[in-house]
Amino acid sequence: MNFEFMFPTKVVMEKGIRKRISQYIADLQLEKPLIISDHGIGEAGMLHDVIEDLGQNHIRTSIYLDVKPNPKDNDCHHCAQEIDGKGIDGIIALGGGSVIDTAKAVSILATNGGTIKDYEGVNVAEKPPLPLVCIPTTAGTGSEVTSWAVVTDTKQQYKMAIGDERMIPKLALLDAELLVSLPPAIAASTGLDALTHAIEAYTCKAANPISDALALYSITLISNHLSDSINLGNIEHKEQMLVASLVAGAAFGNADTAAVHCLSEAIGGRYDTPHGEANAMFLPFVFEYNKAADIKRHADVARAMGVGIHKSDEEAANRCVAKLFQWNEALNIPRFHEVPQLNEADLADLATRAFQNYSNDDNVRHMEPEDYLFI
Ligand code: NAD
């Protein structure tokens, strides 16, 4: 058995921790950090406490808010140009996965120059990126502990993956109070994104014993807390979802994702479909398609979800498929045919994009473009 596992991020969880961010910034010896966030976060009033605490402790900051969902290459370039020559020595990302991934892309561009496409692939950048502090405001992506940034190539309309171990955030501050304003539809789809990460980490070919332990724990947490976390005020369940999302991030960040992500990134790049929704809509179909390739692991997932405990592996996995479909229905996840702008003429190209995805080779069942077309 050969594997590597990395978890260099310091994690601090406490309700209200954002109001004491300056002590952590001082520990990291950052003197002039850039805050990256988005307009939705700004309008929800979440930036205020962070800026106030940094200001009171004489830490000078710049702010960039023009992040879009499924972050775009030109926004990353725009942000990097804006900070060029300003002596920025680190980045604070306050937001969901789009903000965190933009921050990661900018951290590479700030020290290496060029365009973000230059760094597509793994460990391409010559110089280390700027240090990164993340405060996630969704419980879904786990990007606060991964080495990946996913950025849309707007010319070729696909989501490119940039991987660099040095891009793994130095610090993740988990503050459940920030999730209280999360609209229920986003809480639901981002929660299913975290579930997808955990299930794909556990069932993919790159799984290892540590990612397995994390993935199964995350699946159980999500099964116990997702539904109750969706109501706006339910902070204890939201806190559990923040843990589940980070743990799933540590799992897939050290294993891989698989066919669900190959499909969701293909349609996200083409139609700008929200990432959580895109994963959730494909998860039951891919689980069903994959399960025979490793029935034992798919049954383990079912049992971690509390489904099919005393049943055969096959029956447990079948019940899990039914449960995943039920969840999508109950949480109002749109179906693939409801994706805005979906065009049947694009399907063959989307299947090819999915096949070309970095994670395709780690799907437990061998996949060709026709398999994606079939799904
Ligand atoms: P997001 O960051 O795109 O945010 C979605 C919307 O929710 C935005 O409009 C945002 O303003 C709003 N929002 C976020 N938090 C809020 C809050 N607390 N209250 C009110 N509104 C809030 O959504 P996401 O699902 O977190 O991120 C998706 C992105 O993350 C995708 O681009 C995906 O590819 C990427 N991703 C990256 C990794 C990785 O390891 N790098 C892993 C998974 C996903």
- The C-alpha atoms of residue 52 and residue 58 are separated, in whole angstroms, by 10
CATH 3.30.1300.10, applies to 184-374 = no
Our answer on whether the CB atom of 124 is closer than 6 Å to any ligand 1 atom is no
Q: In which order are the strands placed within the sheet that holds 158-163?
A: 121-122, 158-163, 148-153
Our answer on whether the CB atom of 240 is closer than 6 Å to any ligand 1 atom is no
Pocket probe for ligand 1: among 106, 120, 137, 260, the residue whose CB has the most ligand atoms within 8 Å is: 137
> Looking at ligand 1, which residue's alpha carbon is closest to its atom 2?
96
pLDDT in tens, 91-146: 999 999 999 999 999 999 999 999 999 999 999 999 999 999 999 999 999 999 99
The per-residue pLDDT of the chain, averaged, comes to: 97
Residue 232 has pLDDT above 80, yes or no: no
- The C-alpha atoms of residue 164 and residue 157 are separated, in whole angstroms, by 22
Tokens of 311: 């049943």
CA of 98 to the centre of ligand 1 (A): 5
Per domain, the residue ranges of the chain are: 10-179, 184-374
Whole-structure pTM over 0.95, yes or no?
yes
Mean pLDDT (whole number) for 185-191:
97
CA of 138 to the centre of ligand 1 (A): 6
Residue 172, pLDDT score = 98
Mean pLDDT (whole number) for 216-239:
95
CA angle 282, 236, 254 (to 5 degrees): 45
- The C-alpha atoms of residue 331 and residue 120 are separated, in whole angstroms, by 34
User: Does the ipTM surpass 0.85?
Assistant: yes
Residue 233, pLDDT score = 78
Mean pLDDT (whole number) for 10-17:
98
- The C-alpha atoms of residue 257 and residue 290 are separated, in whole angstroms, by 13
The hierarchical CATH code for the domain 10-179 is 3.40.50.1970
Same fold, 10-179 and 184-374: no
Our answer on whether the CB atom of 96 is closer than 6 Å to any ligand 1 atom is yes
pLDDT in tens, 172-187: 999 999 999 999 999 9
Pocket probe for ligand 1: among 48, 99, 143, 199, the residue whose CB has the most ligand atoms within 8 Å is: 143
